[in-house]
Amino acid sequence: MKVFVIGIGLIGGSFAIDIKAAFNEAEIYGIDKSEENLDKALSLGIIDQKADLEDLDKANVVITAIPVDATVKVLPNILDKIDDECLVFDAGSTKKKLCDVISDHPKRRNYLAAHPIAGTEFSGPQAAIANLYRGKTNIICEVEKTAFKLQERAMEIFTRLGMRIRYMDPASHDIHIAYVSHLSHISSFMLGKTVIEKEKNERDIFDLAGSGFASTVRLAKSSPAMWAPIFKHNKENVIETLDEYIANLTQFKKLMEADNFEEIYKEMEDTNHIKSILKGIS
């Protein structure tokens, strides 16, 4: 099985590592606009060979793990180049624009729209790790538009990597994921910004910050190259979440100004049951 991974960073590299471990016969070809990343991936043993888009006619599986705006541009070309039996799936954090752009492509049936909910705040091939996807959710959109045989090949990969599958339409995916993923990143980036702006003397932050702060700003370490395009793609949904988040923060502030700490207690108590909702995620 010849697997071509386009974008050999955290996400693509981690797919490469696990697929190689799970499929004896897998050969991993890396494609990346950064020659440096390809060399690193090769020396780390994440890929077997460097390749480029012209080689895609040899592929059995193509995985795109590049920023979502780049995927939208390149996906039609990928489908143009591949063999009729080749499976293409992506790992992008938005799904609607991607599904739209290839909806009328003659090889639409070769593509599976996927979003594995997995990652860390790090990036690049050196951030790729084994078992990143084990126990994680993979959201599949418009599964009915992918050829049966290629659905099966994809499920075989996802199952061997330990993922559980959820099916969803692209528009619903983009709305829900705005709440449980995209908004968290903005809240974290802006928290980091607010504290850095205030604390010019950074030693002070370091000395006073505890694990709670570290946890809350962890996502502010994420790659802007990956995240700016996500916010662009999911602009309307993300703005809606931001409106609601800002309204809740403003209301909290008003309760404080009015010395209504009973209501503040109640707000926190009502939100505490996030404990039971999140049980099992860490």
- The least CB distance from residue 13 to a second copy, in Å, is 18
Q: Tell me if 192 contacts a second copy by CB under 8 A.
A: yes
Q: Decide whether 21 or 249 has the Cβ nearer to a second copy.
A: 249
Tell me which of 33, 73, 134, 176 binds a second copy, using CB under 8 A: 176
Q: Tell me if 73 contacts a second copy by CB under 8 A.
A: no
Q: Tell me if 232 contacts a second copy by CB under 8 A.
A: yes
- The least CB distance from residue 255 to a second copy, in Å, is 9
Choose among 84, 97, 89: nearest CA to 113. 89
Tell me which of 43, 49, 159, 250 binds a second copy, using CB under 8 A: 250
What's the CA dihedral at 29, 31, 37, 42 to 10 degrees? 10
**Span 88-127, contacts to a second copy by CB under 8 A:** 117-121
Rounded Cα–Cα distance for residues 250 and 272 (Å): 20
Q: Tell me if 194 contacts a second copy by CB under 8 A.
A: yes
The site for a second copy, by CB under 8 A, has a size of 94
Tell me which of 143, 147, 155, 190 binds a second copy, using CB under 8 A: 190
Q: Contact, 110 vs 125, CB < 8 A?
A: no
Span of 2-10, 53-61, 151-159, 208-216 interacting with a second copy by CB under 8 A: 208-216
27-31/2-6 β-pairing = parallel
Rounded Cα–Cα distance for residues 38 and 29 (Å): 10
Q: Tell me if 281 contacts a second copy by CB under 8 A.
A: yes
Rounded Cα–Cα distance for residues 158 and 167 (Å): 13
Q: Which residues does 61 contact at the CB level (< 8 Å), separation at least 6?
A: 1, 2, 3, 4, 86, 87, 88, 89, 153, 157
Structure token pair of residue 17: 């590592």
Q: Provide the mask over 256-275, with x wherever binding to a second copy is found by CB under 8 A and - wherever it is not.
A: xx-x-xx-xxxxxxxxxxxx
Q: Tell me if 245 contacts a second copy by CB under 8 A.
A: yes
Choose among 117, 167, 110, 121: nearest CA to 137. 117
Q: Decide whether 105 or 136 has the Cβ nearer to a second copy.
A: 136
- The least CB distance from residue 262 to a second copy, in Å, is 8
